[in-house]
Chains A and B, each alone.
Chain A
Amino acid sequence: MPVKLIQYWNIQHCTQSDFDAYFTGEYVPRINESGFMKIVGSWHVASGEGPYFITEGVSRSVSEVESLIMASFYIELRQRLLRLVYDYQTKLLVPIESLKPDVPDIEYGYKFNQHFNINPADFYTFLDFEDKVHLPEMKRFGVTIAGGWNVAVGATPYVIDETRADKLEVIGEMLQNPAYQKLTLKLLQLVSNYGCKILVPSGHINS
């Protein structure tokens, strides 16, 4: 099953053009060439909490991510990146077993991601709700389920439900639909630290 290495940062304003050149000209190509991981998308957080810039890398296994992050070329790449950005954070995401992730070669569309912790006492009820109610209902609003992930390494909340839409309008219509609001209220009965993000392509990789 694929795993994801998500990197978050804010770009130092005075280095925006240096960042753009470095990110697209060196950082992404050299990581992709390594064969350990492919960066499939880069996003701006259009609504939700920062950091504002998100890159999404996909590997075949956790051990490949480990090989990448221990490689000297990657350490050097990251050091150079850190001169251009701030608030750098990472998360390693592993897929929830019951849900096969939909990972394209290059990302497309827009993302709507919900993140939360499952209430320990409601764990099995949550699994049932997720499988039979939450994800099927989300699909009815026109979004596709891109994956369900656990944060193996990095800051919680530790569950991320990732959905994708071809148009932002689809996400907007969902958010104002009373049925979506009811569905979210049901979810909130089983989870804590709930939040969500709308991601739009940053234009560096996917558009």
Chain B
Amino acid sequence: MTVKFIQYWDVLSEREDEFSKFVKKSYIPGINETGYLRIVGSWHVAAGEGPYSIMEGVADSVKNVHNLLQLEDFKKLSHLLHFLITNYKSKLLVPTGPVEGIVPADKNYRFNHHYDVNYDKYDDYMAFIINEHIPTMEELGVKMIGGWYVAIGPGPNMVVEGACPSIKTIMDAIGSERYRRLVANLLSMVNGFGSKILVDTGLLS
């Protein structure tokens, strides 16, 4: 079962160059070499709330993430990272279905929704996601690449990820009447709704 370990931060003032060098040369390779977690994305929040930087890692299991967190090498990397950043937080995401977690191979932009599901409407919510949300988003050009529950970390508790090859597709989607109706329906089943548009930082390339 694929899980995600997501880290969020803001880079400290005047430390951007040092930060980029450290992340590219030490932090990402160091984590990848452990074999427990693979860093697959590094993002800026182009629209939405901060922190502004997001690092996306995938692991084969929750156990692998726990193994990583206990490694001395990771603790050292994490310690060094904290000299360069602020507002750090992390989340462990586990799949909820019905969308299978996918990591797009090509350059992409992300359009993610987050919210808390009203649990007395959970069955309606799942039916809505399968029958309306996923098909509509995909017809609007945004491929749904994951539905996740925040197992550990700050809420909201649900993250639904979309990806597409151009930001124009996201703009066309959010400006459309279909998207507006879709969100209006979604809002009848969830609380604390918000969304983020993520743009690749280029740190992985």
Q: Is the CB of A188 within 8 A of B199?
A: no
Instruction: Indicate if A197 sits at the interface (CB-CB under 8 A).
Output: yes
* Cross-chain pair count, CB within 8 angstroms: 104
Instruction: Indicate if A32 sits at the interface (CB-CB under 8 A).
Output: no
Q: Is the CB of A47 within 8 A of B48?
A: yes
Instruction: Indicate if A193 sits at the interface (CB-CB under 8 A).
Output: yes
**Chain B 75-106 residues near chain A, CB threshold 8 A:** 87
Chain A's closest residue to B195 (CB) is A47
Instruction: Indicate if A169 sits at the interface (CB-CB under 8 A).
Output: yes
Q: Is the CB of B195 within 8 A of A48?
A: yes
B-contacting 9-mer, from A22-30, A142-150, A171-179: A171-179
Residues of B near A181 (CB, < 8 A) are 44, 46, 199, 201
Q: Is the CB of A175 within 8 A of B175?
A: no
Chain B's closest residue to A195 (CB) is B49
Residues of A near B183 (CB, < 8 A) are 44, 52
A-contacting 9-mer, from B9-17, B33-41, B139-147: B9-17
Kindly supply a per-residue 1/0 record for chain A positions 166-193, scoring 1 wherever the CB is within 8 Å of any chain B CB and 0 otherwise: 0011011101100001001100111011
Residues of B near A192 (CB, < 8 A) are 10, 87
Task: Select one of A48, A176, A188 contacting B48, CB under 8 A.
Answer: A48
Q: Is the CB of B16 within 8 A of A110?
A: no
Instruction: Indicate if B50 sits at the interface (CB-CB under 8 A).
Output: yes
A198 CA to B195 CA in the complex, in Å?
A: 10
**Chain B 113-170 residues near chain A, CB threshold 8 A:** 167-168, 170
Q: A13-B188, A44-B180, A176-B109 are in contact. Are A168 and B171 (CB under 8 A)?
A: yes
Q: Is the CB of B50 within 8 A of A168?
A: no
Instruction: Indicate if A118 sits at the interface (CB-CB under 8 A).
Output: no
Residues of A near B171 (CB, < 8 A) are 168-169, 171-172
Residues of A near B174 (CB, < 8 A) are 46-47, 168, 198, 200
Instruction: Indicate if A49 sits at the interface (CB-CB under 8 A).
Output: yes
Instruction: Indicate if B74 sits at the interface (CB-CB under 8 A).
Output: no
A110 CA to B187 CA in the complex, in Å?
A: 22
Instruction: Indicate if A89 sits at the interface (CB-CB under 8 A).
Output: no
Task: Select one of B13, B175, B180 contacting A168, CB under 8 A.
Answer: B175
Instruction: Indicate if B184 sits at the interface (CB-CB under 8 A).
Output: yes
A149 CA to B41 CA in the complex, in Å?
A: 35
* List of 7 A-B pairs having minimum Cβ-Cβ separation, nearest first: A13-B188, A46-B174, A172-B171, A47-B47, A195-B49, A175-B46, A168-B171
Given A172-B168, A175-B199, A198-B174, 14 extra CB contacts under 8 A: A13-B185, A13-B187, A16-B184, A47-B48, A48-B195, A50-B192, A172-B170, A173-B167, A175-B167, A176-B46, A184-B44, A185-B52, A190-B13, A195-B48
7 contacts between A and B (CB under 8 A): A10-B193, A14-B188, A46-B195, A47-B47, A181-B199, A188-B11, A200-B174
